[in-house]
Amino acid sequence: MVSSVPRLVIAAPSSGSGKTTVATGLMAALSARGFAVSPHKVGPDYIDPGYHALATGRVGRNLDAYLCGPELVAPLFAHGADGCDIAVVEGVMGLYDGAAGEGELASTAQVAKLLRAPVVLVVDASSQSRSVAALVHGFVSWDPEVRVGGVILNKVASDRHEELLREALDSVGVPVMGVLRRTAQVATPSRHLGLVPVAERGAVAVEAVSAMAAQVAGGCDLSALVALARSAGALHGAGWDAGEALVSSPPPPLPVPSPGALPPDPLVGPGGPRPQTPDGLGGTPDGLPVVAVARGAAFTFSYAEHAELLTAAGAEVVTFDPLRDEELPEGTSGVVIGGGFPEVYASELSANEALRKRIAELAARGAPVAAECAGLLYLCRELDGMPMCGVLDASARMSERLTLGYRDAVAVGDSVLAPAGTRMRGHEFHRTVVEPGAGSSPAWGLRTPERRVEGFVEGGVHASYLHTHWASAPGVARRFVERCRTS
C-alpha cells in the first residue's frame, strides 16, 4: 500500500518560536478553503492536538518515535491521514531536539525523515535581522536528509524589518513562505504545564483558532505551502489498524480473580441498579463490556488509539465527565482515567461525592481501573487536602518542581494492563507529588533517568504517573477488556 497524502512538518529552531500558532492557523486556514486536513503532533503532548482538532474537525494524533518506536510513525500517520487531502504535522521543541541522550530519537527531524515530508521552519525574528541567514543555513545544512523547503518569519516588527530579513535570506536559497507580524490577538494563555487546554476555554479557544487562521491566511503563501506539501515522497506500507494490531500482539493469559477475594459491592447506574449480563457481569445487552473513559475539562489527555484499541478488543467505550456526572455510564465494567488537570478542579471533583463513591465501589469489586497521572491523583485519598476517591491510601499535592521526561519502564508485577516483566516506554509530565510514591505492589520499575519504583497495583487497579501509548503494546487493551469480562 502506498500513501501519497500531501504533508508538511512545521518546525522551529526552539520552543516558543510560534510553531503552534503557525501549525494550528495553517490547519484552520486550509480547512476553511475546503481541504480535509489531517492534524498531527510530534511527541507526547496532549494539549496542542486539542487545538488542532478544533482547527480541522478531526482528531489530533501524536507521532512519537520514543513511545511507539520509529517503525510505527509512518503507519500511525497513514491511519490518521486516511481519506484526507493534506496533513500538517506540528513539531516538538527545536527541529533536532529529541529524547535526552538518544541522538535524533523522537525529534521532529527524525519524524520528518520517517514521513519523507518537507519541513517549514518557523523563525522568531523579533531580535535579529541579517543573523537570520546564518541561523537558517545552519538548520538547513545540519542533516542533509532533512529537507527544509521553506521559512516562515514570525514576530516581524515592520516593513523595514521584513525587508532586511528577506534580503539576508536570499543567499540561503530557502524561500520565505510567510511573514507574521507581532499581535496579541493570537496569544494563548499558559499555566504550570503549558497551554490551557481547549476543553477549558470553550468559545475563547474558538476565537483564538480563528485569529490564528486569519493571521496565517493573511501572512503566508498558502498556495506555495500546499505545493510544497505535494512534493512529499510516497510512503510504502499499510496504515496502522487497531484490529490487526491486536491480532499480531496477543496478551498472555489473564488469571480470573477469585470471587471471594473482594467483597461484592454492586455499582448503581443512572436510574437504578445497573443491568446484568447472564453471568452477572456488567455490560451491554449484547454482552459487550462497557469501558467508561473519563473526559471533560479535568481529564483532557488521551491518545485516540487507546479508545480504538479498546473497541477493537470487544468493548463499548463510553465517556463520562467526573466534574458533572454523578453516576458512571450504565453497565460500566471498567474505567480508564487519563491525564489532565484535576489539581485545577480539585474542589469541583471533591464536591461530586456521588461519583467518587461509585468509582471506589467499582474498584472494591475488583473491576479493572487504569489511571494515568491525573487519574492517579483522582484515585488518591486526597488532593491538596480535598477528598478524592480514596481508592488508594495515598495523598497528592501540588509541587513547585516540574517532573518531565521520557521513561523506560518494566512492569514489577502482574496487573490488569500487563504481566510482570513487560517493558514499556512512557512519559512523565506533572507538578504534583503523591505520597507514598509507590504502593506495596508498584506499577512500574523505572530504568531511566534513575532506577526507582513508581505507582500502584491493587486488585484491579493500575495507577501511575506514567503516560503510555498503547499502540506500542496493543495487548494492553485486550488484557484490560478481558479483565472487564471476568471481574
Q: What is the pLDDT of residues 86-114, one digit of tens each?
A: 999 999 999 999 999 999 999 999 999 99
* Per-residue cell: 166: 528577506
Instruction: State pLDDT tens for residues 427-457.
Output: 998 999 999 999 999 999 998 788 999 999 9
DSSP assignment string, 129-149: STHHHHHHHHHHHH-TTS-EE
Rounded Cα–Cα distance for residues 5 and 81 (Å): 7
ω before 264 within 30° of 0 (cis)?
no
Average the pLDDT over 297-306 and give the result. Answer: 94
Instruction: State pLDDT tens for residues 237-293.
Output: 999 999 999 998 765 455 444 333 333 332 233 333 333 333 334 566 668 999 999
Catalytic site residue from 68, 84, 220, 373:
373
Alpha carbons within 13 A on the beta-carbon side of 288: 15
Question: What is the pTM for the complete model shown?
Answer: 0.90
Residue for cell digits 543573523? 131
What is the structure's pLDDT at 448? Answer: 79
CB 84 within 8 A of CB 53: no
What is the structure's pLDDT at 261? Answer: 35
Residues 6+ positions from 342 with CB-CB distance below 8 Å: 298, 299, 349, 374, 377, 378, 383, 388
484 an active-site residue? no
